[in-house]
A and B are shown apart, each in its own frame.
Chain A
Amino acid sequence: MSAIIKVDDLSKQYRIGAQGGSYETLRDTLAGAMRAPFRRGRNAKAAGGNNGDDGTFWALKGVNFEVMPGEVLGIVGRNGAGKSTLLKVLSRITEPTTGRVALYGRVASLLEVGTGFHPELSGRENIFLNGAILGMRKAEIERKFDEIVAFAEIEKFIDTPVKRYSSGMYVRLAFAVAAHLEPEILIIDEVLAVGDTAFQKKCLGKISSVAQQGRTVLFVSHNMVAVKSMCSRAILMDGGTLKEDGHPVQVVNSYLGAGRISRAEILWADPSRAPGNATFRLRGARVRNAAGAVTSVLDTQDSFTVEMDYVNLSPGSALGATILLFNSDGLHVFSSLSNREPNWHGRAFPAGVFRSTCHVPGNLLPEGRFDVSVLIWANNYTISHREDCVVEFEVHESKETRADYFGEWPGIVRPLLDWDTERLEDPEVAMPSTPAHG
């Protein structure tokens, strides 16, 4: 079987800065033409570098890959890694600067659901309009019309202008049209971020069934669970280049781990510059996972430890430590101090290096990035030093804790709690309005 998508040394350059950042006016162009000779001279000098020097940057650089029919390819990477540019080139929205893409099938892209919806038109009219914009034929839309309406669950409002729809209805209708496209290649960017959870699940199911019909799906998402569970293969983009290509679990893990190791541990090698005071100085801090390895990538369900090493400079002081944990919104999630530590708390510390370790249980933090500030204190909290953001780590979820749920999981903590459901009453008792027999 030969590839359905062949991407060959694909590069895309964007101009940034004054030249066409957004748009120019004629006056700018005229003024630009006057300055052009000088500019050319300057550019010739700066021609060495390929990034930034001449007000351009490469959103994609030398990307190569092939996709086989029926594959569901996840594309992961940080913001600005080139994922969206890649999809835009593949869906022919923008042209590459160099390189070549060959597509052996009809492509439909879903870079945003509801593209081309007109608020004044009714649901019915928008189905036809949106379908045509996404590349469906009129006959095809007519054939699938009832199915689309049923999928969107908007039967009653089909002739109401969509501007009167609730946002949920709007999104459902938009996705319903898109979900009934039948291209050989479907390109999806983050559509799962919309709608309520039941509908999200329906969408996931739909995408899965699209893939089962042998269609090829390219899927960009920041939802790593979706990528891991839906894709048969994943590629990792970084800085416009393709960093990794392989099994989604492996690619997602290396994406999540990429470039973060250094933040898991901090060491102050030079004691004279280390944070602290005349009584004590910090020496280092680190995060260890349940297995004891220093890492900045943790799993929601696993416990971990935060360690602090510090030097006591004045023998006889009673030292202790505190950690303060913040999430990526800067919200203070919790603090914990070592005043219930059984061995050393309240005792006079001799001179030397000490290590305090805070044990954090699993199933406490939700997915996300966290940073830890530490505080060392002495002599009944009369002397202290706080050092902000010493270590940083990311928590990722494991599939197991989610059971059958794939949607958003809000909340600043994510404990795994026990549940019971029991039946309290019989139907006859529960519904007194039911007429009695006889």
Chain B
Amino acid sequence: MNLTPAEKANALQSAAQIASTTETAPHNQGSLPSSDRPLVVIEPRASWLGTTLRDLWTYHELLYFLTWRDVKVRYKQTLLGVLWAILQPLCMMLIFSLFFGRLVGVPSDGIPYPLFAFAGLLPWTFFATAASTSGNSVVNSANLITKVYFPRLIVPMAAVGAALVDFAITFAVLGALMIYYRVGLTWGLLMLPVLSVLLVTLALGFGVLMSALNVRYRDVRFALPFIIQLWFFASPIIYPTSLVPERWRWLLALNPMTGIIEGFRAALFGRTSFDWRAIMIAAVITLVLLVYAAVTFKRMEKTFADIV
């Protein structure tokens, strides 16, 4: 370490100057806030909705950076890199096609089984990744949470955001598959953005809730993979909803992923019509879950730094 004489003189000078400020507090510079209203008030149980939204907006760049970090870091020091995002659903699709499509002969609403399975795996893989990474995100960010303030909601949000990147990449693979199977485009595709928003909201709501519970109850860490696995079989990914007897379909529709996945298929292939009832149920459940998750998160976040 080399300090130039000028730098040394500077450091000494500032040290000397600060010593002299002991007597007279410096009231210079115009950068000081002049407003009489406090910028931040720290109180127990401060009103939260407005503050939360404003806070999230103030820190929206952090959301971007944390997402970018998760994406960047995820495939660091791997040989295949981002290919993993494609490989996972692709391999699953091959296995399912072999076992369920070929051997068991699960019907697929007239869609080639590989395509059928992939259209289900696409939203599912996103959901599973987003739910498990965001569910563990707050606990994994303990070092940040105990050291710096920022809206804690950003942490699970960034995890969902990072999963979204994989989701987009997987979409490209689906496009290639659709070309391969010569699937024509339909007006139903216009529903895709709506369904995607619904899917992301669902993943966010579930992830936010799990991430908050995880701080207090580490059971979540162990339960989460199990829940997701069960959820996989409860969703029409490897089988069509039409396989389920009519009188049990409502039960299946209570799983918001049912409406979303079948919606994806209807939008992509146009072979089946949209099940609006299932989609509406999914939308309502998703919204209720998101609100409940946000409220729970905000209620629990006060103690995050103390117990994480």
Q: Residues on A close to B: CB < 8 A?
A: 1-2, 4, 6, 14, 20, 22-27, 29, 68-72, 88-107, 109, 111-112, 115-116, 118, 120-121, 125, 128-129, 132-135, 137-138, 153, 184, 196, 198-199, 201-202, 204-205, 208-209, 211-215, 229-232, 247-248, 404, 406
Interface contact B1-A25, CB-CB below 8 Å:
no
Select one of A92, A132, A201 contacting B42, CB under 8 A.
Answer: A92
Q: Do B147 and A212 touch across chains, with their CB atoms under 8 A apart?
A: no
B247 interface residue (CB < 8 Å to A): no
B226 interface residue per 8 A CB criterion: no
Q: Is the CB of B21 within 8 A of A72?
A: yes
Contact A212 B18 (CB under 8 A): yes
**Contact between chains at A25 and B69 (CB < 8 Å):** no
Nearest A-chain residue to B55, judged by Cβ: A92
Closest partner residue, chain B, to A71 (CB atom): B25
A209 to B61, CA, bound (A): 28
A212-B26 in contact (CB<8A)? yes
Cβ–Cβ < 8 Å partners of B72 in chain A:
120-121, 125
Give the chain B neighbours of A128 by CB distance below 8 A. 65
**A391 CA to B76 CA, complexed, in Å:** 59
Looking at the complex, which one of A92, A112, A196 makes contact with B40 (CB distance below 8 Å)? A92
Interface residue? B77 (CB, 8 A): yes
Structural contact, A209 and B14, CB atoms closer than 8 A: yes
Find the B residue at minimum CB distance from A90: B42
Whether B42 and A100, one on each chain, are in contact in the complex, defined by CB atoms closer than 8 angstroms, is yes
Contact assessment for A214 and B144 in the assembled complex, using a CB-CB cutoff below 8 Å: no
Chain B interface residue count, CB cutoff 8 Å, equals: 60
Q: Please determine whether A133 and B148 come into contact, CB atoms closer than 8 angstroms.
A: yes
- On chain B, the residues within 8 Å of A202 by CB distance are 3, 7, 11
How far does the alpha carbon of A70 sit from the alpha carbon of B76 in the complex, in Å?
44
Interface string of B8-24 (1 = CB under 8 A from A): 00111011011101100
Pick 11 A–B contacts, CB within 8 A, sort by A.
A20-B307, A24-B216, A24-B217, A72-B18, A101-B43, A104-B33, A120-B72, A120-B77, A153-B1, A230-B15, A230-B18
B218 in the interface (beta carbon within 8 A)? yes
B253 to chain A, nearest CB (A): 29
Chain B residues with CB below 8 A from A68, complex form:
25
The residue of chain A having its C-beta at the shortest distance from the C-beta of B144 within the complex is: A116
With a cutoff of 8 Å between Cβ atoms, the chain B residues found around residue A23 in the complex are 215-218, 307-308
Q: Indicate whether B47 reaches chain A with its CB closer than 8 angstroms.
A: no
CB within 8 Å of A: which residues of B? 1, 3, 7, 10-12, 14-15, 17-19, 21-22, 25-29, 31-33, 35-36, 38-44, 59, 61-62, 64-66, 69, 72-73, 76-77, 143-150, 215-219, 302-303, 305-308
Write the nearest CB–CB distance from A31 to chain B, whole angstroms: 13
**Measured between alpha carbons, how far is A229 from B10 in the docked complex, in Å?**
16
B44 touches A95 (CB 8 A): yes
B74 to chain A, nearest CB (A): 10
On chain A, the residues within 8 Å of B302 by CB distance are 94-95
A163–B146 Cα distance when bound, in Å, is 22
- Residue contact B32 to A115, C-beta cutoff 8 Å: no
Q: In the complex, are the beta carbons of A96 and B42 less than 8 A apart?
A: yes
Given contacts A212-B14, A214-B26, A248-B22, contact A69 B144 (CB under 8 A): no
> A82 to chain B: closest CB distance in Å?
14
**Once the chains bind, are B31 and A101 in contact (CB under 8 Å)?**
no
B18 touches A1 (CB 8 A): no
**Chain B residues with CB under 8 A of A26:** 217, 219
Q: For the complex, what is the distance from the CA of A229 to the CA of B20, rounded to whole Å?
A: 9
Closest 5 CB pairs of A and B: A214-B29, A205-B11, A102-B38, A92-B149, A101-B42
Known: A103-B40, A196-B1. 20 other contacts (CB 8 A): A20-B307, A22-B307, A69-B32, A70-B27, A70-B28, A93-B145, A94-B305, A103-B39, A115-B144, A118-B69, A125-B69, A132-B62, A132-B65, A133-B148, A208-B18, A209-B14, A214-B28, A229-B18, A231-B22, A232-B25
The residues of A that contact B40 with a CB separation of less than 8 Å are: 92, 101-103, 107
- Cβ B26 vs Cβ A97 within 8 A: no
A132 in contact with B44 (CB, 8 Å): no
Q: B149 is contacted by which of A1, A27, A91, A120 (Cβ under 8 Å)?
A: A91
Q: Known contacts being A26-B217, A120-B76, is A109 close to B149, with CB within 8 Å?
A: yes
Q: B38, B41, B217: which has the most chain A beta carbons within 10 Å? A: B38
- A97 with B39: CB separation less than 8 A: no
- Whether B146 contacts A104 by the Cβ 8 Å rule is no
Q: Most A CB atoms within 10 A — which of B18, B32, B43, B308?
A: B18
Tell whether A232 pairs with B21 under 8 Å between CB atoms, given A100-B42, A105-B32: yes
Residue in A1, A98, A102 whose beta carbon sits within 8 Å of that of B44 in the complex: A98
Q: Assess whether B39 is in contact with A105, with CB atoms less than 8 Å apart.
A: yes
Tell me which residues across on chain B come within 8 A of A14, comparing CB atoms.
306
A233 to B307, CA, bound (A): 33
> Which residue on A lies nearest to B146, using beta carbons?
A93
Contact B42 A115 (CB under 8 A): no
Residues on the B chain within 8 Å of A88, using CB? 305
- Rounded to whole Å, the gap between the CB of A196 and the closest CB of chain B is 6
**Bound Cα distance A26, B213 (Å):** 10
Residue of A nearest to B24 (CB): A232
**In whole Å, how far is A23's beta carbon from the nearest beta carbon of chain B?**
5
Q: Does A212 contact B15, Cβ atoms closer than 8 Å?
A: no
Assess whether B42 is in contact with A95, with CB atoms less than 8 Å apart: yes
Q: Is the CB of B44 within 8 A of A97?
A: yes
Q: Using Cβ atoms and an 8 Å threshold, which residues of chain B touch A196?
A: 1
How many angstroms between the C-alpha atoms of A218 and B145 in the bound complex? 20
CA distance A71 to B36 in the complex (A): 19
A93/B217 in contact, CB under 8 A: no
